[in-house]
Structure 1
Amino acid sequence: MQMITTRAPVLLAALTILLTACDSGGGGSSTSSTASTAPTTAKAPPPYSGALVKEAWSGLPAYRSRVEMKQIERYGDHSVLRFYVTNLEQTPRSITFALGMVPSGNHDFKLIDPVGHKAYFPHYDGAGDTVGSRTWPTSHVSGVRYETLLHFPPIPQNVRTLTVLTPSTAGEFTSVPVVDGTGSGGPVAPRASSEPAPGSTVSWPMRGTTGKPADAVVDMYGLTESEVKSRSTTGNEEKIGLRADVLFDFDKATLTPGAKQILDDVAGETRAKADPAKPPIVITGHTDGKGSHDYNQRLSEQRAQSVLKELQARLGTDYQYRAEGKAATRPVAKEGGTDDEKARARNRRVEVAYQIKQRTTQTTETTTRAPQEGTTGGGVPAPFHPADGGTIATRTIEGTLFGAKVKRRLDVKPFYRDGAYLVVVFEITNLGPDDLVRPVTGYTGKNGGAFGSFGVVDPVSKTTYKSVRLGPDDGTVTRRYADQDTSVLNVKPGTTNRGFFYVPAPTAKTVTLDAGEFGQIPNLPVP
């Protein structure tokens, strides 16, 4: 996936609206599909020990490039990502790793810790510029290897590797080493002249900074959802959302007989994972937007109290509890649209939130979560994947998208684990006859992220594992996900674009990939 980045909220909002229209069919999309599934015996490539290098489409317009990650260096009040970019085209090209139709020179890379469940965003100064190399508007000369630097918040001493998410079809670079920096942390290669020699390694000048950059470090939120409950998990907190419609009768606060088994399960999970030393367990009632606020407030409080009493009866006095009601003030779905009843049903819920017990592993020397449903605890970082392995399933669709006749093929690659997460990898090829229509995809959707219409489904429990969100969903910032973010496709016929996204690692041995318009693809192996 080629990715374009900017800090302008208006452009981002416009892209979001257009992408959502693609997904909903509002632009006149009609498709038919054919399916074939290759044998699921294809395996991911073996561990890799060479340079961390991938070739990719980068910039806007897209050009072929080679991206090489060197390392992440710790300094006193910041860290430095050191990497190299080589233009593989025949002529000089300007590069931007930023979202936006106008290049800004900003670099929208992200660092994630898949074991510690943290995400790190680049340092931006007071002028809204990323701190590091100044690459724009100067062109990359063909065949020259350009050393590039980007500043991030400080990385903890116990973190040995991080995954770098790049705004290009190179996607994710796993197990990039984190080392203690030496010297000034500036460029090592000589500064680029106006015409550096092909095959040489040179560096960009460093940008000046305005003001002190602010650190941006957020939790990674593992999101799952079923007909009974949803789950949001970070490295420290778990929040379980229980559908009110399966706990209570309409407009009632008395638990139904069927709710008892559900709360038995929740109590068992809470006993295994909640930390009594970090109280309280918070039970919060929520309603939909129908009715008056006073009535909804009272009902939400009463339902929270009912759940509290049942959990307290099961868990005893080792824990502290607090019940509260929020009425309809914190919806998780937008009401009033075409799926209004489904949205209201999602908003009618009782949430149980608690702090997770922590343990220290001997192998990674880092603090990880206690075991939980849908993950393997903190897991271990994935080795670097220079290639994706063979295709394990294929789907082809064709039709009309915003007036363009398009035919697209989805090739699913072997999944792999990175820490506590499963990485879903695939390629999408435009088979023509027309260009795809910008902003192209139609792959955004309710799950969130660049491929929000995609998800991983456990065929037994019917639980959907959704794109991992980076940061809270509090309405104050643009939501980001562990994927290619707001990237767009190379639109030309015959071009292939690589995609990926992270989900919480399921416990199932095989899963179904819900690939949006491409349909359901069953029996995909989970490593």
Structure 2
Amino acid sequence: MHRWKPVIGLSVLALALSGCSGGGANPAPHRTAAEKPKPYSGPLIKDAWSSLGGAPSRMEIKQVERRGDRSVLRFYLTNPDKEPRHFSFGTTIAGSAYSNLHFMLVDSVGHKAYTPLYDGGDKTVGSDLTIMSAYPGARYETILEFPPLPESLDRITVVSPTTAGEFTGVPVVDGQGPVKPSAPTPDFFDRPAPGSQVAWPVRGLDAPATGGTHDLYGITEGEIKSTTSSGSEEKVGLRTDVLFEFDKATLSAQARAVLDQVASETEAKADPAKPPILITGHTDGRGAHDYNMSLSQRRADAVLNELRTRLGTAYRYKAEGKGETAPVAKEGGTDDESARQKNRRVEISYQIKQQTSGTGTSHGTQAQPGGAAGPPAPFHPDGRTVGSGHASFGREAGDKRRLDVKPFYRDGAYLVVVFDIVNLGPDTGPGPTENYSGSRGGTFGAFSVTDPATKTVYSGVRLGKEGGAYIDPGWSAFRGEPGTDNRGFFYVPAPPPEVKAVTFNAGPFGDIPNVPIE
């Protein structure tokens, strides 16, 4: 039986973390230089399972076109089934009813994501699939409009709301001629022949419309500090247990060594023309509010003084204490002490200098938190399985799943984490309340990546500083029959270029070591 390679969705893929037992992991097999795969040079095509209703599809991304005040994604859909199918690419029932095409464009070097244009109401601008069925073998031209892209971009990543997931290496070109499909639109009762090229009806192509442009934020966590970075700003969180003794605001000798490193990084990245460098103190939830506010302010002041000593007067500084009012972890649960430790912190935030990218692409001026981003990835078909883990779910832990990990790969400033989750039965697949989201958010918030040398943990990349959307499958649908395998992916900040293999922290499936980065 053919098994589709779908991406697993937030509401329908995921398996409940409660009632599950973790499984073992198999290390990646040894590879020789001769086994290194050759770069892919074919068309940008993936088979997928479409969302909300479920139907097989073959998707070929052609290009993204610059069209003045907007951009146009142009791609093709083919129904490989034997019967007519209705494709749905909305992420909600209402969105599906309006035939919304909820794709996303990701600039992996510029740390930006672009979401579709809407017509002033609830409908996306472009192809209208509302009442049209796709007949077997016909190739349906599809278009979708987005906000304008920077002139410097020549490649971009397209994220589909299907099990195909991400399409890297999509060309960005100057549009030619009117914004409309190049193929004819069949009438409702027409039955296009296999091999023919047609187009869906379109709506709102020239009408005023609005869309979203979002900064991408990546999170890394080490034993001493955590870092949240976008293309324009960075926030470094230092654990106060490292900086201060309990209930004190006097910096320790270890703290000064830590701040030497932070000051060096800040000097390299912070933009003096966009002040201030903001230092914010935080406590955990224990103790009286007034005392926590005072302690957090005194600790912020102490860090400010040390940074000013090292960085001098070229920067402006501001310190504030927020006490227990802005926790980053929920206290009072089974991991209460760990949560309190995360909440006891001093954060250093600043705007990042804009520098010219040295990646050799035409991406122009880009922010470079943590060093220069690599080039955007070419189109990247999934590789072989390099490690596996098993887990059991359900009240009696009788439902079995296997996670098959593929080689990870770099896309600009990010690492793409790729895997299949296989339903070993006996049930018919995950239900809408089951998920892998964990405490971090996103479809796979319970999953992360660790650099085994530094113990630095890399978590999912999100849209916006406090956004709830991530670069992952979102609400994609998938097949749940026993024996089917379902593709998952998500983006994390890329580790330094010298890191060639990482550990995949796969939640209930356990840790899978030695996953190569290709």
Count residues in correspondence.
Answer: 505
Please say if 1:383 is aligned against 2:378: yes
Q: TM-score, normalised by structure 2?
A: 0.91
Contact 1:36 1:395 in 2 (8 A): no
Contact 1:65 1:86 in 2 (8 A): yes
Per the alignment, residue 502 of structure 2 pairs with 511
- Shift in Å, 1:141: 1.2
Per the alignment, residue 438 of structure 1 pairs with 431
Partner SS, residue 266 of structure 2: helix
Please say if 1:522 is aligned against 2:516: no
Per the alignment, residue 226 of structure 1 pairs with 222
- Compared with structure 1, are the counterparts of its residues 147 and 188 closer, same or farther at alpha carbon in structure 2 (3 Å cutoff)? same
Per the alignment, residue 367 of structure 2 pairs with 369
Separation (CA, whole Å) in 2 of partners of 1:441 and 1:409? 16
Per the alignment, residue 9 of structure 1 pairs with none
Separation (CA, whole Å) in 2 of partners of 1:445 and 1:488? 19
Partner SS, residue 432 of structure 2: coil
- Compared with structure 1, are the counterparts of its residues 31 and 257 closer, same or farther at alpha carbon in structure 2 (3 Å cutoff)? closer
- Compared with structure 1, are the counterparts of its residues 31 and 223 closer, same or farther at alpha carbon in structure 2 (3 Å cutoff)? closer
- Shift in Å, 1:403: 6.2
Per the alignment, residue 235 of structure 2 pairs with 239
Partner SS, residue 298 of structure 2: helix
- Compared with structure 1, are the counterparts of its residues 344 and 110 closer, same or farther at alpha carbon in structure 2 (3 Å cutoff)? same
- Compared with structure 1, are the counterparts of its residues 305 and 327 closer, same or farther at alpha carbon in structure 2 (3 Å cutoff)? same
Contact 1:80 1:150 in 2 (8 A): yes
Separation (CA, whole Å) in 2 of partners of 1:517 and 1:472? 28
Which one is further off, 349-358 or 248-257?
Answer: 248-257
- Shift in Å, 1:207: 2.5
Contact 1:44 1:414 in 2 (8 A): no
Separation (CA, whole Å) in 2 of partners of 1:230 and 1:260? 17
Report 1:34-433 matches (<5 A). Answer: 35=26, 37-41=28-32, 45-101=37-93, 103-104=96-97, 105-193=99-187, 194=189, 195-208=191-204, 212-361=208-357, 363-365=360-362, 366-370=364-368, 372=370, 377-385=372-380, 387-397=381-391, 399-401=392-394, 405-433=398-426
Partner SS, residue 338 of structure 2: helix
Gaps of 5+ in 2: none
Separation (CA, whole Å) in 1 of partners of 2:221 and 2:21? 28
Separation (CA, whole Å) in 2 of partners of 1:425 and 1:440? 23
Contact 1:107 1:130 in 2 (8 A): yes
Deviations 1:334-383 (A, max 9, x none): 333333332222122111112222221363231123462xxx51210111
Per the alignment, residue 8 of structure 1 pairs with none
Per the alignment, residue 480 of structure 2 pairs with 491
Separation (CA, whole Å) in 2 of partners of 1:256 and 1:211? 61
Separation (CA, whole Å) in 2 of partners of 1:336 and 1:148? 50
Separation (CA, whole Å) in 1 of partners of 2:131 and 2:66? 29
- Shift in Å, 1:203: 0.8
Which one is further off, 92-101 or 335-344?
Answer: 335-344
Contact 1:107 1:150 in 2 (8 A): yes
- Compared with structure 1, are the counterparts of its residues 65 and 263 closer, same or farther at alpha carbon in structure 2 (3 Å cutoff)? same
Separation (CA, whole Å) in 2 of partners of 1:440 and 1:3? 17
Separation (CA, whole Å) in 2 of partners of 1:186 and 1:402? 53
Separation (CA, whole Å) in 1 of partners of 2:133 and 2:225? 51
Contact 1:297 1:326 in 2 (8 A): yes
- Shift in Å, 1:488: 4.4
Separation (CA, whole Å) in 1 of partners of 2:384 and 2:132? 38
Separation (CA, whole Å) in 1 of partners of 2:493 and 2:420? 21
- Of 469, 492, 508 in structure 1, the residue corresponding to residue 462 of structure 2 is 469
Q: Which amino acid aligns with 2:488?
A: G
Partner SS, residue 476 of structure 2: coil
- Shift in Å, 1:92: 1.0
- Compared with structure 1, are the counterparts of its residues 238 and 219 closer, same or farther at alpha carbon in structure 2 (3 Å cutoff)? same
Identical aligned residues as a percent: 55
Contact 1:441 1:488 in 2 (8 A): no
Separation (CA, whole Å) in 2 of partners of 1:329 and 1:440? 31
Separation (CA, whole Å) in 2 of partners of 1:411 and 1:260? 44
Partner SS, residue 127 of structure 2: coil
Aligned CA RMSD, in angstroms, stands at 2.5
Structure with more relative contact order (C-alpha pairs < 8 Å, separation 6 or more): 2
Which one is further off, 85-94 or 209-218?
Answer: 209-218
Separation (CA, whole Å) in 2 of partners of 1:173 and 1:500? 12
Separation (CA, whole Å) in 2 of partners of 1:364 and 1:276? 28
Gaps of 5+ in 1: 6-11
Q: Which amino acid aligns with 1:231?
A: T
Q: Which amino acid aligns with 1:120?
A: Y
Partner SS, residue 65 of structure 1: strand
